[in-house]
């Protein structure tokens, strides 16, 4: 009587590898045997794709029949990932960038900005472009130079590779807190690497700051101009107009008209008469 051979069942086909995804067909989770590449980062195959592409891939593959087997080897993969990251950092540190060959240009620069004393900063949108053949260092920053009369906070260029021809849109703020009088001021900006070394063209903003209280009044006698604050005589001007036109205009409407005309009584009266006609 012939003895029957004992058939050993392979239960690996029923195994489910959670959080695993085949790099070829995209199947997730992987059912059956899971194959992990020992050289490529995050490359794994299901049982079907290993038969089709395993040999073509050319790298050694680790065969996992049970889901719990991954825990035995995960430290290998995690440590390998850390080694790869360290190698990459070391490679980047070894690579030296010649800053003298790093060029930049602002594509939408307007030199003159006019503000008033009720604002404490000027918001500006810029588009920077790498116009050279050398990649910019990473990270890099758009900063205000020390010689600037008005300054602003440095801006880090995030998610930006700095490759030749690449453009980057950013917003800066030129702070006006230290300006005490009307005048023309310069703010000079430039790109810098993490060490603070400058590269690329200097960007110069010319700011003309105007305070509302400063107005020029012409003197017909000596034809000289002087700065005078119309608000010093505001109440006197209101009473003068009110007496001349009796009760035609309210005190509030006269005051508003004088403010709009910077204290010019003739122009204020014209505004008041025009508004009266509209009524």
pLDDT band at 93 (very low <50, low <70, confident <90, very high): low
Question: For 82-96, 156-170, 211-225, which range has the lowest pLDDT when averaged over its residues?
Answer: 211-225
Radius of gyration for the alpha carbons in the chain, expressed in angstroms and rounded: 37
What's the pLDDT score for residue 225?
43
pLDDT band at 272 (very low <50, low <70, confident <90, very high): confident
* pLDDT over threshold 70, residue 72: yes
> Quick one: average pLDDT of 133-161?
90
> Quick one: average pLDDT of 85-111?
71
* pLDDT over threshold 90, residue 143: yes
Q: What angle do CA 39, 43, 48 make, to 5 degrees?
A: 120
Rounded distance between C-alpha atoms, residue 179 and residue 161, angstroms: 37
**CA separation (Å) from 270 to 29, 36, 231, 266, 277?**
81, 86, 19, 6, 11
**Highest mean pLDDT: which range of 11-15, 202-206, 225-229, 268-272:** 202-206
pLDDT band at 91 (very low <50, low <70, confident <90, very high): low
CB-based contacts of 17, cutoff 8 Å, min separation 6: 29, 30, 31, 34, 64, 67, 70
Please provide the average confidence, as pLDDT, over all residues in the chain.
Answer: 78
Pairing assessment for the beta strands 44-45 and 34-37 based on DSSP bridges: antiparallel
Q: Which carries the bigger pLDDT value, residue 266 or residue 127?
A: 127
How many CB atoms are located within 10 Å of the residue 245 CB?
A: 14
The reply to whether CATH 2.60.40.10 applies to domain 101-210 is: yes
What's the pLDDT score for residue 247?
59
**Percent of the chain's residues with pLDDT above 70:** 73
Question: Which three-class secondary structure state does DSSP give residue 122?
Answer: strand
Rounded distance between C-alpha atoms, residue 167 and residue 159, angstroms: 12
Measured in degrees and rounded to the nearest 5, phi and psi for residue 31 equal: -105, 145
Tens-digit pLDDT profile for residues 182-234 = 788 889 999 999 889 999 999 888 887 766 544 443 344 444 444 455 566 77
Rounded distance between C-alpha atoms, residue 30 and residue 28, angstroms: 5
Domain ranges of the chain: 11-94, 101-210, 228-278
Q: Which carries the bigger pLDDT value, residue 117 or residue 43?
A: 43
> Quick one: average pLDDT of 138-151?
90
> Quick one: average pLDDT of 254-277?
79
Burial of 134 (0-12, 13-18, 19+ CB in 10 A): middle
Tens-digit pLDDT profile for residues 26-69 = 999 999 999 988 888 788 999 999 999 988 888 889 898 888 88
Q: Which helix (H) or strand (E) holds 191?
A: strand 183-193
Rounded distance between C-alpha atoms, residue 190 and residue 199, angstroms: 7
CB-based contacts of 274, cutoff 8 Å, min separation 6: none
11-94 CATH: 3.30.60.90
């Amino acid at each position: 009587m012939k003895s029957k051979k004992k058939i050993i069942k392979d239960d690996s086909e029923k195994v489910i590898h959670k959080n695993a995804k085949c790099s070829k067909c995209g199947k997730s989770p992987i059912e059956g045997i899971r194959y992990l590449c020992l050289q490529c980062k995050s490359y794994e195959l299901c049982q079907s794709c290993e038969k089709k592409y395993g040999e073509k891939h050319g790298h050694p593959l680790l065969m996992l029949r049970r889901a719990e087997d991954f825990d035995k080897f995960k430290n290998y993969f995690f440590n390998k990932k850390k080694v790869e990251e360290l190698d990459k950092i070391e490679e980047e540190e070894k690579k030296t960038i010649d800053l003298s060959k790093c060029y930049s240009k602002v594509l939408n620069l307007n030199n003159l900005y006019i503000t008033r004393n009720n604002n404490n900063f000027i918001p500006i949108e810029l588009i920077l472009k790498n116009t050279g053949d050398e990649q910019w260092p990473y990270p890099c920053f758009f900063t205000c130079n020390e010689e600037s009369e008005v300054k602003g906070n440095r801006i880090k260029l995030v998610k930006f590779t700095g490759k030749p021809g690449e453009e980057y849109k950013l917003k800066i703020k030129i702070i006006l807190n230290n300006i005490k009088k009307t005048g023309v001021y310069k703010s000079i900006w430039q790109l810098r690497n993490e060490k603070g070394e400058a590269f690329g063209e200097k960007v110069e903003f010319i700011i003309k700051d105007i305070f509302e209280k400063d107005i020029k009044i012409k003197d017909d006698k000596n034809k000289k101009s002087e700065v005078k604050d119309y608000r010093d005589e505001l109440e006197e001007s209101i009473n003068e107009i009110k007496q001349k036109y009796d009760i035609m205009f309210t005190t509030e409407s006269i005051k508003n008209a004088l403010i709009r005309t910077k204290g010019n009584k003739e122009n204020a009266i014209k505004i008041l008469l025009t508004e009266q006609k509209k009524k």
